[in-house]
Amino acid sequence: MPVADREEPPVLRVEALAKQFDGLRAVDGVSFDVARGEIVGIIGPNGAGKTVLINLISGFYPATSGSVHLAGEDVTSLPLHEIGRRGIARTFQNIRLFRRMTVLENVLIADQRHARRPARAFFAFGRQRTEIARAARYLELMGLAARADRLAGTLPYGEARRLEIARALATEPKLLMLDEPAAGMNEEETAELVQDVRRARAAVDAIVLIEHDMSLIQALSDRVVAMDYGRVMAAGTPAEVLADPNVQRAYLGEEGGP
Amino acid sequence: MTAQILNGLIVGSMYALVAIGFTLVLGVLDRLNFAHTEVFMFGAFAGLVAIDAGGIWWLALPFVFVVGGLFGMAVEFISFRRFEGDARITAALSSLAVGLVLIDLTQKVWGTEPVGMTIPGYVTTAGFELFGMRVVYVQLLILGVTLALMASLHLLVSRTRMGRNIRAVADSPAAASLLGIDVRRVTQDVFFVSSALAGVAGLLLAFRTGFANTDVGLTFGLKAIAIMAIGGMGDLRGAVVGGLLIGVLEALTFQFGVGKLGELVVWVTMILVLFVRPEGLFGGGVHVKDVRA
Amino acid sequence: MIQDYLFFTGINILLAWSVYVVLLTGNLSFAQGAFMAIGCYAAGIMTTRYGVPLAVAVPAAMLLSSAAAVLVGFPALRVRGIYLILVTVGVTFCVRIALENVAYTGGVEGLKGMSGTRLWHLGAAIAAVGLLLFLLSRSPLQRILDAVREDDRVAASLGVNLTYVKLLAFGAGAAIAGLAGALYGHYLIFVRPDNFDILVSIFVVLYVILGGVNNMWGPLLGATVMTLLPEFIRALQDWRPTMFGVAIVVMLLLRPEGLLKFRQPSARWSGHAGR
């Protein structure tokens, strides 16, 4: 259960966030909070603006207006790497691993001691025992230790998804955002993913989960934000949101549509 | 002074013609075609062949248009077709190698010295006075041809079915392909048009100087790449204005007697533009949108 | 004669490595000839006009090339990789035109009177740069550079400052090119601006592409083969650009990652695991 402490700012606060692409308002004034310890699910039909929202929060797109605060600190217009350093890490809907590098290296890159000081990283040549030991924690957490020396591009789908999570966790973030982690997974893999996300939860302050798969959302999220046409359509507990007539219409409409 | 400006506009219109080709390929296909400068260079030699074959001199223009376009399609086939997405740099390097081969082979046939081109004197030397300034017919020819080509290109892109397909591919090749547009066909069209313009520009330059020269690709032609950046990558209007602007600026700096340092103008301008306004003159460069490094 | 072959091969190896270092972050530089020129002229002016010893002039020249690179690289690297290509082409022209038209650097006539480079100096320089590159390949910096090349935006989201990392590589590459230039001038005794034509820069990039860009040995192989082969096969000499161009096109089609395409991981889970 989320801890409501009046003194502590929420891990993530999104206020009136908007993004305008040429004619289209892809995200149109979205606001929500994520408290410490929470997993917040974001649902909505295709094209509702979920991925654009995650791109705005993580700094991949500059916002047209609105603000993003991380643990009380305004990160809206910070450069991408600064947002990463402040503690937002994410995965990608279309997996974006460093494919020609090994699984271990993918996690090692996220090691902030080196990522923040590239020039000094040169002098750490050699065995790199401490770095590998740190990376090992995350590889083991995601069950990838046996794959450590394989090229990331050769991993099967489910493992590639898990590696993305391990890499994001290795930055030691406050907030982890998962963009459709179950996309393309079968039931068995999705069930494993639920366990993975639960384990990841212990390593971060809060998680934002974008997902189509309702069973995953119900199994994991404490609260759900439903989006459509770039706006928040409903927000609350999973049961409340799924019972919302607008949400039902949007989902039934999608299934009934062409 | 006005004479210098006129001169600048004429050189600038040729820059623009080459820059349009660069920016078209980059804007639509997100590819950098280094062989472009050498197709431009070869335009003059193709024209030489046509004129020496005893034809009517001005028929060399349409001839070079077609030859340039075919060269462009060949470059697309050799250097670009096999590389997609992330292999952009690989394709650019392959086209660079093709350019080197084209220079070398041209030099094998015509030698490394500039080759004279015979055009009737009533074009190259005759002219008239206008507001106290001497205008030579070849200058009018260059302005006329470049303006006509730019206008046709504008119509092609904005009014025709082919233009609509080109714009769709520029927006998103994947989406265009879903709409049933033959992306490969559009790619070939774009390469044809861009290289055809470069070929004609090369011939016009030779009309003006009286020589076909194997050096012009790496000197004159490469400046067009800077002009593309000044105008905004992928921005056709920017390429035209940028070309004319640089032509005039160069002419004026030569006027002020800085000698060969005038050659620096284009590069210095480009670096300044990158500093101040990386999206180009009109901010229409499609390739800096939403980039926050 | 044989000494000259070795010397030019060595210079080309250094230049190829200077391209390779920049390419580690996925950026192409067509200015390595220009940075070589800056190193060459800077060191030459220091030793011939101000009596600075070569051992001091060489590192000073390297620093100067590197500083020039950082200055011009910054606006380009802030935005997108393709801009660096344009800026470096521009730098190559600007440096050449400036050298030809400024009296201080000797103009078109060039600069003369430098001497003092022995073949072993070049050997030592190659060994030193090679050692640094080898250590780099075993360091965390290597994988940061590789990650930036693979997917720069993702690397940035993991906390890597892209502009800084790309500038670091660009500056280091220019320093290596400056080193090559300083040694080059003091071997040839007499240099002119057209020794640093844009074709020099283009050819060096292509050596690297031919050899392979995934490890430090590819550029070494590419530079060595492409420098020495035409010297020993007469037929190749006359058709050098064509043969070379065709070789590049064919190789990119068949083996786009170059002749030596293996990549050594910067760290291993098990120290003795095979490749």
**B290 near A CB under 8 A:** yes
Annotated domain spans of chain B: 2-290
Query: Which chain A residues have a beta carbon less than 8 Å from that of B293?
Result: 79-80
Per-residue pLDDT tens for A76-101? 999 999 999 999 999 999 999 999 99
A neighbours by CB contacts (3+ pairs under 8 Å): B, C
Annotated domain spans of chain C: 2-197
Whole-number pLDDT of residue B199: 96
Q: How confident is the model at residue B284 (pLDDT cuts 50, 70, 90)?
A: low
Per-residue pLDDT tens for A143-202? 999 999 999 999 998 899 999 999 999 999 999 999 999 888 888 888 989 999 999 999
| B211, pLDDT greater than 60 | yes
Count interface pairs A-C at CB distance under 8 A.
Answer: 129
Whole-number pLDDT of residue B283: 67
DSSP state of C270: S
Q: How confident is the model at residue B138 (pLDDT cuts 50, 70, 90)?
A: confident
Distance (Å) from the alpha carbon of C230 to chain B's nearest alpha carbon: 16
Residue of B nearest to A58 (CA): B292
Taking an 8 Å cut-off on Cβ atoms, the answer to whether C72 and B271 are in contact is yes
Quote the mean pLDDT of chain C.
Answer: 90
Whole-number pLDDT of residue C221: 95
Residue of C nearest to B93 (CA): C206
Q: How far is CA A229 from CA A76, A93, A250, C112, in A?
A: 22, 19, 10, 71
**B148 near C CB under 8 A:** no
- ipTM score here? 0.91
Residue from A203, A195, A143, A130 nearest A168 by CA: A203
Query: Which chain A residues have a beta carbon less than 8 Å from that of C265?
Result: 101-102, 104-105, 149
Distance (Å) from the alpha carbon of A42 to chain B's nearest alpha carbon: 24
H or E element: which one contains B191? helix B183-209
Determine what percent of chain A is predicted with pLDDT higher than 70: 95
| pTM, two decimal places | 0.90
Q: How confident is the model at residue B86 (pLDDT cuts 50, 70, 90)?
A: low
Task: Report the Cα C148 to chain-centroid distance in Å.
Answer: 19
Taking an 8 Å cut-off on Cβ atoms, the answer to whether B100 and C241 are in contact is yes
Determine what percent of chain B is predicted with pLDDT higher than 90: 54
Whole-number pLDDT of residue C103: 84
| B291, pLDDT greater than 70 | no
Instruction: Give the count of alpha carbons within 13 A of A5, CB side only.
Output: 10
| A240, pLDDT greater than 60 | yes
Q: How confident is the model at residue A12 (pLDDT cuts 50, 70, 90)?
A: very high
**B218 near C CB under 8 A:** yes
Whole-number pLDDT of residue C9: 95
| B120, pLDDT greater than 70 | yes
Backbone angles phi, psi at A74, to 5 degrees: -75, 120
> What does the pLDDT average to over B140-159?
92
Which residue segments constitute the domains of chain A, with CATH numbers given? 9-87+173-258 (3.40.50.300), 95-171 (no CATH)
Domain B2-290 has CATH 1.10.3470: yes
Range 27-56 of C in CB contact (< 8 A) with B? 28
Low pLDDT (below 50) residues in chain C? 272-275
Range 56-95 of B in CB contact (< 8 A) with C? 78-79, 82-83, 87, 89-90, 92-94
Q: Which residues pair with A42 in a beta bridge?
A: A210, A225
Taking an 8 Å cut-off on Cβ atoms, the answer to whether B97 and C244 are in contact is yes
Taking an 8 Å cut-off on Cβ atoms, the answer to whether C267 and A128 are in contact is yes
Chosen for mutation from C21, C144, C150, C157 (greatest number of chain A CBs closer than 10 Å) is C157
Query: Which chain B residues have a beta carbon less than 8 Å from that of A79?
Result: 292-293
Query: Which chain A residues have a beta carbon less than 8 Å from that of B292?
Result: 59, 62, 79-80
Chosen for mutation from B95, B100, B233 (greatest number of chain C CBs closer than 10 Å) is B100
Distance (Å) from the alpha carbon of B25 to chain A's nearest alpha carbon: 22
Query: Which chain C residues have a beta carbon less than 8 Å from that of B270?
Result: 86-87, 90
Distance (Å) from the alpha carbon of A74 to chain B's nearest alpha carbon: 17
Partner-chain residue, chosen from C140, C153, C265, that has the shortest CB–CB distance to A121: C140
DSSP per position, B90-144: HHHHHHHHHHHHHHHHHHHHH-SS-EE----HHHHT-EEEETTEEEEHHHHHHHH
Q: Which residue has the higher pLDDT, B198 or B1?
A: B198
Round to whole Å and give the CA distance between B124 and B141: 10
Neighbours of C49 (CB within 10 A): 11
Quote the mean pLDDT of chain A.
Answer: 90
Q: How confident is the model at residue B288 (pLDDT cuts 50, 70, 90)?
A: very low
Where is average pLDDT lowest: B111-120, B249-258, C238-247? B249-258
Whole-number pLDDT of residue C43: 96
